[in-house]
Amino acid sequence: MSCGAALAIALMVSNPAVAEAAALPPVAADAPISVASEPLFADIVMRSGALKAIVDAWAASRAADQTGFFAGADYQDFKRRTEALAESDMQGHLILKERGTDNDLKCILRGISEDLPKKVAAVEAAPNASQRAVALSELAYLLNDNVEVITSPPQPEV
């Protein structure tokens, strides 16, 4: 028995995850590749998650219902950061388009890029606390969606 075969058997016996991985079929050469680890997309995930945490905190504390909230430095910084995130989402869309990929992620990133400023504007325009809570919830959902669409394993074309 060769040393390689002996080592493979020893690993399979000692770690069940190795045996499970060995039992999986090989990945197809044309399988979609995740972009989640690429710097631009990883940055989008990080910034979306951070902005969602801010929105969640505002919703829980009802901070956005306070007089002068939208003129404050924290909100103005948040707004600037969401605009930059929308630009990064569009950049991600354009990169995927340039690569010639024909998948949902390309389209979703464009949609998020276009929707982020609208969701922020909806929070500002909400005429009362109840509608502002809904607008914050929708903004949080969109920011979370931005994370999930990038980090979800890619699916093969149908």
CA distance 78 to 82: 6
The total number of residues shown for the chain amounts to: 158
pLDDT digits (tens, 9 = 90+) for 114-144: 999 999 999 999 999 999 999 999 999 999 9
pLDDT surpassing 90 at residue 155: no
DSSP 8-state secondary structure symbol assigned to residue 63: G
83 and 138 fall within a common domain = yes
Domain shared by 75 and 106, yes or no:
yes
Domain membership of residue 23 (yes or no) is yes
Domain housing 115 = 39-151
| Confidence band of 84 (pLDDT split at 50, 70, 90) | very high
Total domains present in the chain: 2
Poorest-pLDDT segment among 38-42, 54-58, 119-123, 153-157: 153-157
Based on the fold, state whether residues 44 and 22 are members of the same structural domain. no
Question: Do the Cβ atoms of 135 and 126 come closer than 8 Å?
Answer: yes
Q: Which of 27-31, 63-67, 110-114, 133-137 has the lowest mean pLDDT?
A: 27-31
Q: Are residues 18 and 77 in the same domain?
A: no
Per the domain annotation, does 156 fall within a domain? no
